[in-house]
């Protein structure tokens, strides 16, 4: 268990070791943080690349880590603990220099399985929002108590520096909500938030957390939206509990396509924007999804995509030939060997179903729509299924060298086709990226252009956020070292002047 917690003097000292990077105060906490934090949404302790990336980020001057109990079903928090323990034991950092933030509210995966079992035994948590069969939610003190305990155990920490309620607005859009009148619904919602705040104040007193807040996608909504969550109201609740409360931090999405925090006047009777209101009250503001923008067309990645000239120059007939080759390689392997490999019934069924990358691409390669859509298919379906099939095959005791050689060739062909698809859809995405580059370039002053224009699209998008004085830190996913380097480039860039007005002028 790592003792102590982040301290103002130590985080300031840490920042001075990296004078070339942008640093900011995290609101009322007094803690100095790198203007970009390590977003841990899709990292897992079982992936060495993620371990190396987080370690590299800290060694590069990143000292704020954002995670959550539900990220990678707890695997994200375990990774954070493993990396911190490793670096502290090596004498590379002190616990007091690093700001660790986690969140609670979601019941998914193992959390959900346990909650369902408890409910069957008549010992379930109070005030559970059964949003869907596979997603429940709660901010009740009984649940938060267990979650904080589990989070600290996974991260090997005595104390978390910031604890956030994670999207409490699920209650406002749940089956339960449909049974209540609007006034009653809103009253119940803020009553639940008050109950959670009262409990979190007790956790501050006990020392298991230093302060708390809310991470909510609904902060940025228009005030008449069904799930809108009023920061004004939440701050009022905290002040009702105590004028010396520890409601210090909020988190919400902001990017080039989702500018609600800037353009929607949804606070204090629709007279102030979220950014204005939070800044006025000294709250630490953390931005999430700076590069993953959602609009009516779906997900848009605000980044430059890597493409291979070798693959973008392929004719359609050549691409089809490569796909047909993979399809025939997989079909021939199954026909020749599936009956002699002596697989279990479940593995045989999985191999027959999953070793079909060629078939999937043959039927869909023109229809993925965007680089983001193909990336989702690749990560959620294609790669996991192929990996499952290949693992089942290579662990068979009847696998011969000849079979292994053919499987290796199939794997090579799959990787080649993934690179082809990445390049084709990446080329299309870069057309959109170039348009965004040009529009962002026109926003900056002539005196700023020479240093701003050469930046990557992701660096420009992040710098435009970090240049907002009220913003404490922008959270960026850095699952690979190259992403850390890209973020470091934005942290070394000079702030853009009068940036809030520039954001208001920007046309998505």
Q: pLDDT at position 128, please? A: 95
Query: Is the Cα torsion angle 242, 285, 195, 176 positive or negative in sign?
Result: positive
Per residue in 399-427, pLDDT (tens digit) is 999 999 999 999 999 999 999 999 999 99
Cα separation, 298 vs 379, whole angstroms? 17
Cα separation, 48 vs 255, whole angstroms? 30
Q: Please, are residues 420 and 431 in contact by the beta-carbon 8 Å criterion?
A: no
Q: pLDDT at position 506, please? A: 86
CATH topology of domain 8-301: TIM Barrel (3.20.20)
Q: pLDDT at position 320, please? A: 97
Contacts of 345 (CB under 8 A, 6+ apart): none
- What 3-state DSSP class applies to 304? coil
Q: pLDDT at position 13, please? A: 98
Contacts of 445 (CB under 8 A, 6+ apart): 497
Tokens of 187: 């009253």
Listing DSSP states for 72-102 in one string gives GGGHHHHHHHHHHHHHHHTTS--GGG-EEEE
Q: Please, are residues 476 and 42 in contact by the beta-carbon 8 Å criterion?
A: no
Secondary structure E strands in 122-278: 129-132, 135-137, 162-166, 212-215, 247-253, 265-267, 272-273
Question: Which of 329-345 are b and which e, b meaning 16 or more Cβ less than 10 Å from the residue's Cβ?
Answer: bbeebbeebeeebebee
CA proximity to 12, closest of 27, 28, 34, 42:
34
The number of residues making up the chain comes to: 508
For residue 161, the 8-state DSSP code is S
Q: pLDDT at position 295, please? A: 81
Per residue in 458-479, pLDDT (tens digit) is 999 999 999 999 999 999 999 9
Query: Which residues of the chain carry a pLDDT beneath 70?
Result: none
Q: pLDDT at position 505, please? A: 85
CA proximity to 247, closest of 189, 188, 198:
198
Q: pLDDT at position 299, please? A: 83
Tokens of 251: 């988190």
């Amino acid at each position: 268990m790592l003792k102590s917690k982040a301290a103002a003097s130590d985080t300031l000292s840490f920042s001075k070791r990296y004078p070339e990077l942008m640093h900011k105060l995290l609101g009322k906490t007094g803690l100095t943080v790198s203007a970009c934090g390590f977003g841990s949404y899709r990292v897992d302790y079982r992936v060495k690349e993620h371990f190396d990336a987080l370690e590299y980020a800290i060694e590069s001057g990143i000292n704020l880590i954002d995670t959550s109990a539900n990220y990678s079903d707890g695997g994200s928090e375990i990774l954070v603990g493993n990396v911190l323990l490793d670096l502290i034991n090596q004498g590379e950092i002190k616990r007091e220099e690093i700001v660790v933030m986690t969140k609670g509210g979601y019941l998914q995966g193992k959390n959900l399985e346990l909650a369902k079992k408890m409910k069957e035994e008549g010992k379930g948590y109070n005030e559970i929002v059964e949003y869907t069969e596979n997603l429940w939610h709660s901010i009740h003190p009984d649940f938060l108590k267990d979650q904080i305990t589990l989070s600290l155990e996974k991260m090997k920490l005595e104390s978390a520096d910031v604890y956030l309620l994670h999207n409490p607005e699920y209650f406002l859009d749940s089956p339960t909500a449909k049974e209540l009148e609007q006034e009653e619904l809103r009253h119940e919602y803020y009553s639940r938030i008050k109950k959670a705040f009262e409990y979190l104040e007790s956790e501050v007193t006990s020392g298991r957390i230093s302060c708390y807040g809310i991470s909510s996608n609904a902060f940025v909504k228009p005030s008449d939206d069904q799930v809108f969550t009023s920061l004004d109201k939440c701050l009022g609740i905290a002040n009702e509990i105590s004028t010396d409360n520890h409601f210090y931090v909020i988190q919400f999405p902001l990017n080039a396509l989702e500018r609600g925090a800037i353009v929607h006047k949804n606070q204090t009777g629709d007279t102030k924007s979220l950014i204005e209101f939070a800044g006025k009250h000294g709250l630490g503001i953390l931005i999430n999804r700076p590069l993953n923008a959602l609009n009516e067309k779906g997900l848009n990645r605000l980044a430059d995509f890597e493409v291979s000239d070798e693959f973008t120059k392929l004719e359609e007939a050549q691409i089809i030939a490569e796909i047909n080759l993979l399809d025939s390689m997989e079909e021939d392997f199954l026909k020749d060997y599936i009956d002699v490999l002596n697989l279990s019934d479940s593995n045989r069924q999985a191999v027959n179903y999953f070793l079909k990358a060629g078939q999937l691409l043959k039927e869909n390669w023109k229809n993925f729509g965007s680089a983001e859509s193909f990336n989702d298919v690749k990560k959620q379906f294609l790669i996991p299924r192929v990996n499952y099939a290949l693992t089942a095959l290579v662990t068979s005791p009847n696998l011969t060298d000849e079979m292994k050689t053919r499987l290796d060739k199939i794997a090579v062909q799959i990787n080649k086709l993934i690179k082809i698809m990445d390049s084709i859809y990446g080329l299309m995405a870069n057309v959109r990226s170039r348009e965004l580059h040009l529009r962002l370039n026109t926003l900056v002053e002539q005196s700023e252009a020479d240093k701003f224009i050469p930046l990557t699209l992701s660096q420009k998008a992040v710098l435009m956020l970090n240049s907002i004085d009220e913003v404490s830190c922008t959270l960026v996913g850095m699952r690979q070292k190259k992403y850390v380097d890209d973020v470091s480039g934005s942290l070394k860039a000079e702030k853009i002047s009068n940036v809030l007005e520039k954001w208001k002028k920007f046309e998505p």
